[in-house]
Amino acid sequence: MKDFGYTVIKQRTIDYDQFDGRLLSDVLRMEPSFKTCLSCGGCTATCSANDLVSFNIRRINLSLRRGETYELESEIQKCMLCGKCMLVCPRGINIRNVIMLIKKSILKYKSVQL
C-alpha cells in the first residue's frame, strides 16, 4: 500500500470480556509483595537498564494489570536483574522475582496456547 504519511491510531480500549488475567493472578499469587507497589518510581530512577533503553517497572506493572501480554513480553526482556530496584524500593518488593515470574509465566501460557 502506498504510504501517504498518515498513521492509524492503535486501538487502546481494554475489553474486559477478553481480559486474560492468568498472568496477573500467577504473579501476584507467587509474589504478593507486588500488590503493595506505590508506583513511586524509585525503581525506574535507579534502574541500570533504564540508563541504556526506555525501561520502566511501573509500566510493567501497568501492562500486567491491563493484560497486555504482548507488550510485556518484549518489555520484560530488557531487565538486567542487577537488583538496584530492590534496594531502593520503599515497600521492599521483591522486584527481581516479579521479573522472573513474568518471564516464566509468559512462556508457560504461550506453550499452552500453541
Using CB under 8 A as the criterion, which residues of the chain lie in contact with another protein when the complex forms? 30, 33, 46, 48, 51-53, 77-84, 87-88, 92, 94, 96-97, 100, 103-104, 106-107
Residue number, 48 or 56, with CB nearest to another protein: 48
Which CB, 14 or 107, lies closer to another protein? 107
- Minimum CB distance to another protein smaller for 14 or for 81: 81
How near is the Cβ of 106 to another protein at its closest, in Å?
8
The CB-of-3 to another protein minimum distance in angstroms stands at 25
- Contacts (Cβ under 8 Å, ≥6 apart) of 44: 50, 55, 56, 57, 58, 85
d(CA 67, CA 16): 9
Cβ proximity to another protein: between 24 and 102 the closer is: 102
Residues 25 and 87: their CA atoms lie apart, in Å, by 25
- Helix %, strand %, coil % of the chain (to 5): 60, 0, 40
Min dist CB 71 to another protein, Å, is 16
DSSP 72-92: HHHHHTT-----HHHHH-TT-
Least separation in angstroms between residue 24's CB and another protein is 18
